[in-house]
Structure 1
């Protein structure tokens, strides 16, 4: 059987003609070729008609287009190979008139820019396809050649080497565009790049604006939640203050009832019938400030002492708050370090102590309620180690925290 292809002995590639073998040798420096009875594959895509000369080409075509059906027409296209370099006779359509129509000229492969050709081959394009793209795109740039390939990908002869008349071969390298056209093309590309950049900047600005709006909404929501929590906290404080006022009024009422019963007992009158008692709220309000209230527990005594301190110095809230914080510091130091005498002993004539606590009526009384006692002729306040009562210190700390944080403390 006659040979239908040339096989490269170095890499095993099958080539259709001597011309393809020469191109392969130039590209790879392979020189060992022999005739083969194995034909080059001709797999034609049933969807677009593109021919593929190997299984690799068909796989790449499937990956690019999604077409999977191919018809094997290898036997139809297989012809005995000619070992002569093909020369095609063709009439020049532009320069030959009707009288010279029988004159044949040699057809050759057009020359293209080798650097552009190497770039296209490095991108994965076959030599024939890259040469055809450069030739028909004006041999100007890689971008123009790639655009031409995309537009003519489905052409049946896209993988065939282009042929031109021998006398026009030198003209193939000349750009098809005039200098004025090149300038216009460059200006057009710059304008296109500028518009693209402007569109990208506008898009980024829209994204940034969306991000600013999102952050603004999050900040507003966080502020709303903070305000809501603050409102709830104030409501809770007011509720606690109302409960405290209610307990104070109830104690006053009980005290009035006890005093009234004591007076009736001293006068020898029988106890008053509870069903007939109709206490009047206004009377209680009038006598509230006149009747002494003596808390029954240590915590109540401390609260009353702090309330008295605030009432006695109501014109200077900053001084009152500083006194409360100083007392809290003394109590906290003892609670944290009960074995340290320096925290359990206070010099009364210390200027800082006098400015913050000693000069305020009720400050020393509060410390005495917490367990401190005067020693050495009233020069010092001392809380003996054996008399340190953590329950009393905790109660003192709780009352001081309430006095500092409750804006309605001591209103009554």
Structure 2
């Protein structure tokens, strides 16, 4: 079979053209992938922003509910105080009427006409001795803890440690009311001073629990005959609430 000569051009640009097209195609794919990632990142960022907005709204709503509850408790307390004051005034009026009837009877005078009212000046003089506020132990303790947290709001760790220490004191007495060592606190104890004594409101809270200063203000002491389990349970509940409620002490009424 005879050989046939074939002219092959090794410098043909075809191979170069294919390689260049592949590079362009690869770059195009990379550009598309980059744009796709940008779109996805923007989408994720919008989603995260929506979640942040929703979380902020939830937090605002939770704060609003807490403020509303605090306000309702305050209004209920004020209403109760007004009712107590009203009952006290009515009781005084009745007592004045009764005393006047007795005086007229002793003097042999006829009963006074119902249209005559008791002396306003005398009524005011009597009512000035009445307390205008009747705050429960729980409310006093709550306000004491609020004050402690507000006075040291820049040191949350120290406030929490104070609450925890007070809870330990209260819990030890509630569990072991007959143990005097749990009912006697040396005021000069450095640990006590660091955790409770140096914080405004700390010792006041213990005094609300029944502790008294004794022996030249060297000790805080709770006499065994003044151990009130109901009061200690109330103190424990208020301390736990102060430790678990993130808005405790931040809302004012």
Structure 1 length normalisation: TM-score?
0.40
Match of 2:54 in 1: 228
Query: Could you say if the C-alpha distance between residues 323 and 265 of structure 1 is closer, same or farther in structure 2, counting changes exceeding 3 Å?
Result: farther
Query: Could you say if the C-alpha distance between residues 405 and 247 of structure 1 is closer, same or farther in structure 2, counting changes exceeding 3 Å?
Result: closer
How far off its partner does 1:380 sit?
6.4
Greater fraction of residues in helix: 2
SS at match of 1:192: helix
How far off its partner does 1:361 sit?
3.1
Deviations 1:176-229 (A, max 9, x none): 31xxx31124xx313321321231132123123212321331232123223212
Match of 1:265 in 2: 91
SS at match of 1:405: coil
Match of 1:317 in 2: 153
User: 26, 30, 35: which one pairs with 1:204?
Assistant: 30
CA contact (8 A) 2:146 2:249 kept: no
CA contact (8 A) 1:305 1:366 kept: yes
CA distance in 1, matches of 2:57, 2:71: 21
1 or 2 for the larger relative contact order (CA 8 Å, sep ≥6)?
2
CA distance in 1, matches of 2:164, 2:21: 69
User: 17, 21, 27: which one pairs with 1:195?
Assistant: 21
Q: CA RMSD for the aligned pairs? A: 4.2
Query: Alignment length, in residue pairs?
Result: 205
Match of 1:250 in 2: 76
CA contact (8 A) 2:149 2:249 kept: no
Greater fraction of residues in strand: 1
SS at match of 1:292: coil
Mark the runs of 5 or more structure 2 residues left unpaired by the alignment.
Answer: 98-130
User: 232, 236, 240: which one pairs with 1:397?
Assistant: 240
Match of 2:112 in 1: none
Match of 2:11 in 1: 183
How far off its partner does 1:366 sit?
2.5
Structure 2 length normalisation: TM-score?
0.60
How far off its partner does 1:333 sit?
6.0
How far off its partner does 1:359 sit?
2.8
SS at match of 1:183: coil
Query: Could you say if the C-alpha distance between residues 307 and 336 of structure 1 is closer, same or farther in structure 2, counting changes exceeding 3 Å?
Result: closer
1:328 aligns with 2:163: yes
How far off its partner does 1:354 sit?
3.4
